[in-house]
A and B are shown apart, each in its own frame.
Chain A
Amino acid sequence: MKKLILLSILLVSFTGFAQEREKLDKESGYFQLGIRNTVSAFSDDGANGFGYGGQFRIRVLSRVNTDWFMDYITTDIGGVARRVDWHIGWSVLGYPLNYETTKGKVVPYILAGHCFDYTKVSKNNTDFYKDKFSSAVQAGIGAHYNVTDRVDISLTTQYMMHLGYDVKAEVFELDGKKDVLIEKQRNRGVEGHLLVNLSMNVRLFDMWDQHRKRK
């Protein structure tokens, strides 16, 4: 009798798992491609940058997505110097609330990730510059707005911390004329800035082809 009860519990729970699995599988496996504009703010230089970039996303689970991105950001430093940043990296997105890709739905998420970056700070009107390669970690929040079942607009705010030798630019005035001091720090440190991305993404295909197989 005990065996029969145990078997019944197992059978019922397996049915539940199967249903849950099917529900999960409806969202996972999709490949998305997108482009974005980025605003960089609150950096140590006190200057705001503007950038262009792109990303692709691979959704590994219904509630977990991965975002692989590249950004090119330029920043004017007080009209006397300029900063160029290249970011290439990845983030993991988690959907704690709604996760369905349905027209009109808002899907909030949290994200965290890592990137490699190259920074070059140059003085205007000269060929003087200092540059660095470093690594960074980032974390933040965002939301997708599903314009259609395949297209979304995403707004993300994340804080990025660069780990390595920072290149600093300090603007000063001498005899009423603006000038800049650019130096590469001798010690490794942590330097950060806030990144706000607005992106448009399209769901292109199912990488695992699971839905077609199920049909």
Chain B
Amino acid sequence: MRTIISTVLVLLFTTPILAQYERQQYIHKHLMRADASIVSGYMYKSGIKNVHVNGNLEYYMDNRISFRGDANYLLGSSGISDSMGFLHNHSVMLGTVFHIQTKGHFDPYFILQPGIAYTQSYKQRYFDDPDELGGRTNYPGVLSPLGTAGLGFNYYFQRFAHLFMEARYVYGQHLAEAPYPLSLEEVRITFGLGFNAFIIKEKKKPE
């Protein structure tokens, strides 16, 4: 019984504090956020599963618009498409994030980011192929243009940290010296903890 009463009392006292805290919205002009995360990707056309590491930096022009730069490095790739797979699929992206305004710390958004990838493919050769010797042929790396669009949200639970989750679609084609092109179309999902800071202090308007 004591435990219940003490829990209720704690809740009663902390709720007004939290309510006051909620009024102080972190999502506004000059907010800068950054995060690094592991991204799970699936190339549904070729059935290849990828793991990328992503780092990004974002600057809020105002409550609704921000600019964001992303860098992705392919950690590993499992699966091949008709004996072909990827050795490298690293990319940089730069674009605009459109935020849907809320009254709290929840920050849903839509992102549009063109980008460019450095991609290198290989062909796996098998011993049972009568024309080929065993081993792998690596083709020269190429630059592949990308277009990406995604949905996600940030939750700014603290002045210096936030939680995030994002799903995005990546469009592109790997056109190299390889026998045939490989699609770079991929669905990527990531979530984690990010950091935020206010780099410019808002000037107070004279009363």
Residues of A within 8 A of B (CB): 35-38, 50-52, 72-76, 79-80, 82, 84, 122, 124-127, 147-148, 150-151, 153, 200, 202
Give min CB distance, B52 to chain A, whole Å: 18
Number of A-B contacts (CB under 8 A): 70
A52–B175 CB distance below 8 A: no
CB-CB under 8 A from B164, the residues of chain A are none
Q: Mark B62-77, 1 if CB is under 8 A from A, else 0.
A: 1011010000000000
- Give min CB distance, A158 to chain B, whole Å: 18
Spell out B's residues near A (CB within 8 Å): 61-62, 64-65, 67, 94-96, 98, 112, 114-116, 142-147, 171-173, 175-181
Interface residues of A, dominant DSSP: strand
- Return B62 CB to nearest CB of chain A, in Å: 6
Is B61 a contact partner of A52 (Cβ separation < 8 A)?
A: no
User: Which of B112, B145, B181 is close to A79, meaning CB atoms less than 8 Å apart?
Assistant: B181
A82 and B94 within 8 A (CB): no
Q: Would A148 and B145 be within 8 Å (CB), given that A50-B173, A82-B181 are in contact?
A: no
A74-B145, A74-B173, A200-B112 known; A148+B178 contact, CB < 8 A: no
**Chain B residues within 8 Å of A202, by CB:** 61, 67
Given A125-B177, A127-B177, verify A50-B147 contact (CB < 8 Å): yes
Which residue among B98, B143, B145 has the maximum number of chain A CB atoms within 10 Å of its CB?
Answer: B145
Q: Within the complex, which residue of A79, A122, A147 is in contact with B180, where a contact is CB–CB below 8 Å? A: A79
Beta-carbon contact of B98 and A147 below 8 Å:
yes
The answer to whether B175 touches A148 (Cβ under 8 A) is no
* Distance between A31 CB and nearest chain B CB, rounded to angstroms: 16
Report the Cα distance A148→B64, complex, angstroms: 9
Q: Give CA–CA (A13, B132) in the complex, Å.
A: 85
In the assembled complex, the CB of A52 is this many whole angstroms from the nearest CB of chain B, namely: 4
Q: Which residues of A contact B172 (CB under 8 A)?
A: 50
Residues of A within 8 A of B62 (CB): 148
A37 engages B114 (CB within 8 Å): yes
Contact in complex: A124, B61 (CB < 8 Å):
no
Choose one: A37, A72, A80, A200; the contact of B96 (CB below 8 Å).
A200
5 A-B pairs closest in CB distance: A52-B145, A82-B175, A125-B179, A37-B114, A37-B147
Q: Which residue of A lies closest to B116 (CB)?
A: A52
State the CA gap A3–B12 with chains docked (Å): 85
